[in-house]
Structure 1
Amino acid sequence: MSVLSQPSDFRVKLDSFPILKDLHERKDLEYVLIDLINVLMREYEVTCIAIICDEVYLNVFSGPLFKRTSAIPYVMTVVEDYEDLLSPNFVTLESLRAARKEGCNVYVILLANGLQASRLLRFGDRHRILDTRAKFIMLHDFRLFHSELHYIWRRIVNIIFIKHHNKMTGTAKSRPWFELSTVPFPNPIKGVFVPRRVDIWKNENFHYKRPLFADKTSNLNGEVLNVVYLDHVPSVVVMKNNVSTKLGGVEVEILHTLAEKMNFKPRAYQAANAEIHKWGQKQPNGSFSGLLGEMVNGRADVALGNLQYTPYHLELTDLSIPYTSQCWTFLTPEALTDNSWKTLILPFKLYMWIAVLLVLLITGTIFYGLAKNHMNLQEYRRKFKSKRRNSDDENAKPGLYLFGEIINSILYTYGMLLVVSLPRLPMGWSIRLLTGWYWLYCILLVVSYRASMTAILANPAPRVTIDTLKELVDSKVTCGGWGTQSKKFFEQSLDEYSQRIGDKFETIDDPMEAANKVAQGVYAYYDNSDFLKYISVIRKNSFMDPKQNNTTNNTEVTGRKDTQRNLHIMTDCVVNIPISIGFHKNSPLKPLADIYMWRVVEVGLVEKWLNDAMYQIRTLETSEDEVKALMNLKKLYGAFIALAIGYSLSAICLIGELIHWHIIVKRDPNFDKYALHLYYLHKNKKH
């Protein structure tokens, strides 16, 4: 039953519950609640009060409680004495959800059955129906302190237990009194739960007048907190030597800051088989392995391991505010395509080469046309003008042989394009003017070609890489990463390309094994860009120096040296994911830790720690551009290929000339090897 106003309609006869008759008659419990609620509203900001009670204590709320407290929203839930609150009915569940939705930060739980109250706490904690960081007021019951419920009191720490004491026997003026106690946080519960007394309420007054809900997280009094970590750059960097293991990284620095400000001592450890289970996954029996298993089972208070701020992790743990956002993308192989044989044609694009070829043919044809026109003009002048003038023209005529035939015209035009001077200045002003302007065109074209060629030979060779999701989908490489959650992320995406990646996504546990598969050109590995840079640099340095390779098989890597591809981090981010530190579910440490983390982010310490964590990785990363920028024999493949083509064509032409000489020329009846000039003179007269 849920009530959003004062429950004045509920009346319970005192005779129905004789076990609490004395308590009800004097209304002492009601007066305690009135004083507690007034203290809360006076010293804290109360937004809403959720009341959960049964019929035994229903009459506590039928008197002046609502009149003597400030006007504030109440959400009241009355449960039956037989209801199992580990699986409440629909009406009770909706009432509890309404209280959480309204933002109630005070819970008053008065249940006569301690087992029923304990099951309510377990249900509320498991499904986050109750706000465990709110302030609780409950009846003292030894059944709430069973060892199976000790984990609850590591999560609900702002609580007051009300314990009723009868008046002293034999003292006439003695009156009943109440002991107010709380959980001994931050001190750990060892074996037996012993509540810590806060105050005593007697004669309608608090005896010690201590703060009832003091902040228990601002000073943890040097308590030891278990911190489970996972080696994952740049969040956690594990530096091992023969003696000890040192932790570094962004999240380790944040942990040290929190430990100093909140006064606790971290005890860092790794989960069992961390190199295999890593973050952990749900097992067939319902439990979790790895880092998440330590958090779900309550063995760890804090988790360091590059936890993504996702609904999956939020369901199992509490996450701090994100301290950074990481680009998650793929580590892809670079193509082995070698275009050095195309060095001679790389300076110009295809359309530029087409334009150069067309200009060559057109200009050569124009030269030939002008030469033929001038030769016809000379022939005309020879017939109709004086012999002296004809003799002068014939003296100048040899200059026309350069362009007198179409083949020669094309060849000499091509020669000018290669900046080869003509053997003789051509005659005819039209040809001379065209030659001058064509020379200007050739100079501009050749200078552009040489400049582009110099840049190509001096700069590193262009790399063929995969930089977008579309290119990755169109490629034949298999995609993969750690855990089934990454695969589900792509499969459940609304993006078409992401769904297609999810179809061919494979899970892999070892990142170095994944890097080896990427180097073989058959795999693309999914992780954050900083970690991908780390594994690519580590693998490269291990490949260059096998003595440093502690994670891969040296023989296997060296055996495929000629087929190894460079590793490339895809420039496009698949998604930018916030990264947080993990706390155990419903941890009371999270609110204050968030405040300190926000300050750390604001002053730029996270950025500084990130640069420090990646500094060694950047120093190990060698600059390949400087090596590739040097001239080498490989870059001159194009020149050797052009020379080989020239040799081949010359050899073919030589063979053709020999065949023509032996089959056609030597078989001619007029052929005389002792008078070849007469043979060619006779051949020229025929033509």
Structure 2
Amino acid sequence: MFKIQTMVPYNMSAEFFLFYTNVPNDTRATALEILQIAFDQSKFTTKLIIPIERDVFYLYNFNLYPKEKKYCAAHPMLTLINTCYHGVFTKRVYRNNYDFSRLNCTIPVIMMEIPPFVITPNDGLEVLILKEFERRLNVTFEKSMNSMSGSWGMKQPNGTWSGLLEQIYIDPFNIGVGAVSLKEDRLIDFDYTTDYFSESMLFVVPTADRVEEWKLIMIIFSWSTWLVLFILFVVISVLIWIASNVEELVTADDRNLTTFGSAMLLSLQVAIAFAVDKQPRALANRMLFITYALFIIIVSCLYQSALIDILTNPQYQHQIKTYEEVVDASIPLGGSSEYREIFNESDKVLYDKYVILSGENAVYQVAKGAFITISGEFYVKFISGTPEVTHQDGTSKIYVIYDDVVYIDTFRIVFSKNYVLKKQFDDIIDGLLTAGFIAKWTQYYTNQYRPADWKPMDYEKSTSNDVVLTMRHFEGSFALLLFGLVCGLITFGLELILYKFNKEKRRYLIQRRWKKILVARRVFNRRFLH
């Protein structure tokens, strides 16, 4: 029984030599047993030096790709590659005797249906990469397709793996494709190619519902603006009513405004830009009337222009656009179980409200308005033109929050630790990245389902003209109204002061006249009656 110490060489392409000191009875059987142990530990480049006689040694290794075998490196064949006589090899030893460009074998591949990475066994971004492997390495992939309802799996407490990774863990000659992410707990038992694609993982939320038609007239102003306008209407009515009941200031024509109902009717006629039947004559009422009318003219112009825009463009309710709104939303967050662990330490609120959706397309559930989910930008763009996420009028059913990136994910091809073709796969992927082929394929799948007149999904841009008018938009008109009210109050005060002055003046003149009359009467009585 032989044992080789478990180790992971730094350079997986380096030659790994073993020296067996004893002369065995059965050289081939001993060599086969030792090399099989090395092979099981993924030391594929192992060479064994074993003595035949005192000064004669054989050099054995495994031929990983014999032509009569099907799977690459699955059934290695013991091969005598060199002989050493008196310390000298008959042939060159320090070279890799594997021609990776002429493998002529089959590689079993576990595929997860994750569009657009793997759409079908013959279509998808990663499928194109596999085709390059086939062409350059002369290999054939035996594909095993799995639906999106599956999972790559997680490590179990007993050290094994669940999901599709279990198949790679059990059979180290399998490889896995389908948007496989690099995760720390997987690095112990699995290896990856260099990353060929990275993307932002974003929140995908339902688009806001359209506002009902009967509400369109009301949404032009915010509720606070409507409230201020109503309070202002009542205040103006009260001021006109008060001014009309000050007997000293009212002319005969203003007697019809002495009731509060008539004053409110006058204010209402001005508020709806309707012609009034009688104009006020008193200076204070005139000042209030003119100021309020100018203010209403400005408000009416703003209202009418906004009304035209609202009636000709679709209007929506409030759209969820930020991370904070996702947290506060009544819509549950759902998706893959892998995404739930993201919030385990960062956000307990989202972690607790997260719903695991198994066997369902999470983005399609978002399009139905049932969930908020996390998805990659590439996938969202890929399905952006499909009927499942698009209304009949061409508008999208989903909204992507680009400003709050959840995290950046990278995707690779996964296989067992120390996989023999890792270096060859990495070299091909690096070449495809450098030449721009992967970027070109990415653009192809991004535009695959989009109609010719498709425009980028930009909810913010499409609704930027649909602005609800608030108090900020009326600062100028309110300033004018305030100026008019101040002038009206000043005029009202001056009129009262002037009236009091004139009243006292008339009273003084009358008293003085009466005094003169009384004096004249006394003089007359004294002269003519006595």
Q: Fold conserved (TM > 0.5)?
A: yes
Tell me, in whole angstroms, the C-alpha distance in 1 between the residues paired with 2:370 and 2:75: 56
Shift of 1:427: 3.0
Determine the C-alpha separation between the residues in 2 that align with 1:535 and 1:509: 20
Match of 2:18 among 134, 138, 144: 138
Q: Please give the per-residue CA displacement for 1:178-227, whole angstroms capped at 9, x wherever unaligned.
A: 34343323444676732251x444455443336x1337475243333222
Q: What RMSD in Å do the two structures reach over aligned CA positions? A: 4.2
2:351 to 499, 502, 513: 502
The alignment partner of 1:438 has SS state of helix
Shift of 1:418: 1.4
Deviation string, structure 1 residues 226-257 (Cα, Å, up to 9, x no partner):
2221111121011xxxxxxx522111122223
Contact 2:208 2:316 in 1 (8 A): no
Contact 1:347 1:453 (8 Å CA) reproduced: yes
What does 1:253-292 correspond to in 2, within 5 Å? 253-261=128-136, 263-270=137-144, 277-280=150-153, 288=161, 290-292=163-165
Aligned to 1:109: none
Separation in structure 1 between the aligned mates of residue 458 and residue 44 of structure 2, nearest angstrom: 59
Corresponding residue of 2:261: 407
Q: Where does residue 327 of structure 1 map in the other structure?
A: 200
Give the whole-Å Cα distance in 2 for the aligned partners of 1:217 and 1:234: 33
1:306 to 163, 179, 193: 179
Distance 2:239 2:417 in 1: 87
- Residues 229 and 268, structure 1, Cα contact 8 Å, conserved in 2: no
Measured in 1, the distance between the counterparts of 2:387 and 2:161 equals: 31
Using the alignment, how far apart are the partners of 2:38 and 2:336 within structure 1? 31
Does the C-alpha gap of structure 1 residues 418 and 275 become closer, same or farther in structure 2, counting only changes over 3 Å? closer
Once residues 391 and 220 of structure 2 are traced to their aligned partners in structure 1, the CA distance between those partners, rounded to angstroms, is 35
Q: Secondary structure at the match of 1:221?
A: coil
Matched residue, 2:517: none
Q: 2:118·2:124 contact (CA, 8 Å) conserved in 1?
A: yes
What is residue 353 of structure 1 aligned with on the other side? 226
Tell me if structure 1 keeps the 8 A contact 2:197–2:410: yes
**C-alpha distance in structure 1 between counterparts of 2:105 and 2:452, whole Å:** 40
Q: Displacement, 1:138?
A: 0.9
Deviation readout 1:638-676 (Å, 9 max, x if unpaired): xxxxxxxxxxxxxxxxxxxxxxxxxxxxxxxxxxxxxxx
The one-letter amino acid paired with 2:263 is S
Matched residue, 1:227: 109
The structure 1 residue matched to 2:418, chosen from 586, 607, 612, is: 586
- Distance in structure 1 (CA, Å) of the matches to 2:287 and 2:353: 66
- Contact in 2 for aligned 1:481/1:508 (Cα 8 Å): yes
Counterparts in 2 of 1:554-593, with a 5 A limit?
572-593=404-425
Is 2:451 the counterpart of 1:451?
no
Q: Is the Cα contact below 8 Å between 1:309 and 1:580 reproduced in 2?
A: yes
**2:90 pairs with 204, 207, 210, which one?**
207
How far did 1:136 drift? 1.2
1:368-422 Cα offsets, whole Å, 9 max, x none, are 455455x63566xxxxxxxxxxxxxxxxx43x35644433223222222211122
CA deviation vs aligned residue, 1:63-92 (integer Å, no higher than 9, x gap): xxxxxxxxxxxxxxxxxxxxxxxxxxxxxx
Secondary structure of residue in 2 paired with 1:511: coil
Correspondence list, 1:450-599, <5 A: 450-468=304-322, 470-483=324-337, 485-490=338-343, 493-495=344-346, 497=347, 499-512=348-361, 523-531=371-379, 540=388, 572-599=404-431
Of 54, 59, 62, the match for 1:183: 62
Residue among 435, 439, 443 paired with 1:607:
439
Structure 2 gaps, min length 5: 21-26, 67-71, 463-530
1:603 and 1:191 mapped to 2: Cα distance? 35
1:308 deviation in Å? Answer: 0.8
| Cα distance change of structure 1 residues 348 and 307 upon mapping to structure 2, 3 Å threshold | same
Q: Is the 8 A contact 1:332 1:567 kept in 2?
A: yes
Q: Is the 8 A contact 2:60 2:78 kept in 1?
A: no
Closer/same/farther in 2, CA of residues 603 and 448 from structure 1, 3 Å limit: farther
The equivalences for 1:624-663 within 5 A come to none
SS of residue paired to 1:315: coil
C-alpha separation in 2, matches of 1:486 and 1:150? 39
Within-5 A mapping of 1:238-253: 238=120, 247-253=122-128
Whether 1:160 aligns to 2:44 is no
TM normalised by structure 1 equals: 0.55
- Distance verdict in 2 for CA 1:625–1:401, change over 3 Å: farther
Shift of 1:538: 6.1
Q: Give the match for residue 675 of structure 1.
A: none
| 8 Å CA contact 2:168, 2:415 repeated in 1 | yes
Q: Which amino acid aligns with 2:421?
A: L
**CA distance in 2 between partners of 1:220 and 1:317 (Å):** 26
Aligned partner of 2:528 in structure 1 is none
CA 1:419 to 1:504, structure 2 compared with 1: closer, same or farther past 3 Å?
Answer: closer
Q: Distance in 2 between matches of 1:232 and 1:308?
A: 12
Equivalent pairs counted in the alignment come to 443
Cα distance, 1:510 vs structure 2 = 0.6
C-alpha contact 1:469 1:574 (8 A) present in aligned 2? no
